[in-house]
Amino acid sequence: MSSGHGLKACILACAAGFLSVASADAQVWSGTEERSQQGLHTATLFVQMHEFALQMTCNETAAENGRLDLMFVGPALPRLYGTDGQEETMLLSFGMFDGSTVTRGWNAYYYDGGLGDQAWLGGLTADDAMLDAFAAAREVALLNTDKELIYVFPAKGTAAGAKLLRQTCGVGQAW
């Protein structure tokens, strides 16, 4: 992964914040909009279920490149075990109400900072079709390279999340 350890530290700090908050809405996608230290408008979406969390982040430069940064946090799983520095192509799959799925690959890097400080970090290029699928999904699943299920998150709140990504970052917008 091309981003430096500073980005990883920042992402992990954000993860520590939302993983430590116990909320009745923890299984609902939540979003925030703010300005980064560089002055860019930034959107962050996250969902937490049990000890697992998935976060999507973008900034206004995504209007040009469609880049969404992703982070999956949680303990090792039988179909996803990482060692520090390992790279993997993972799949983000949106299960639709009609039974179909929309799937996108993302290149992930495993960061292991010790117990409670582990995450898969990476990104993907999002387009309008992906955001439409995210907004209309019944569930959001992570799959490994072999297309084996890693974890499933609920999709409650994804429509508002897709709207936030479009409005704040310009993801999926045709200019």
In a domain, 104, yes or no: yes
Query: What whole-number distance in Å separates Cα of residue 51 and Cα of residue 13?
Result: 16
Query: What whole-number distance in Å separates Cα of residue 131 and Cα of residue 141?
Result: 15
Give the tens place of pLDDT for each residue, 112-155.
877 767 899 999 999 999 999 999 999 999 999 899 999 999 99
In a domain, 35, yes or no: yes
In a domain, 22, yes or no: yes
Give the tens place of pLDDT for each residue, 22-47.
444 568 999 999 998 999 999 999 99
In a domain, 175, yes or no: no
In a domain, 66, yes or no: yes
The domain that contains 136 carries what CATH number? 2.60.40.1880
CA 154 to chain centre: 13
Question: Has residue 19 got a pLDDT over 80?
Answer: no
In a domain, 98, yes or no: yes
In a domain, 174, yes or no: no
Give the tens place of pLDDT for each residue, 48-95.
999 899 999 999 988 888 899 999 998 877 778 778 888 989 999 999
In a domain, 53, yes or no: yes
Q: Decide if 60 contacts 170 (C-beta within 8 A).
A: yes
Q: Point out which residues pair with 33 in neighbouring strands.
A: 43
Number of independent structural domains in the chain: 1
Query: What whole-number distance in Å separates Cα of residue 41 and Cα of residue 43?
Result: 7
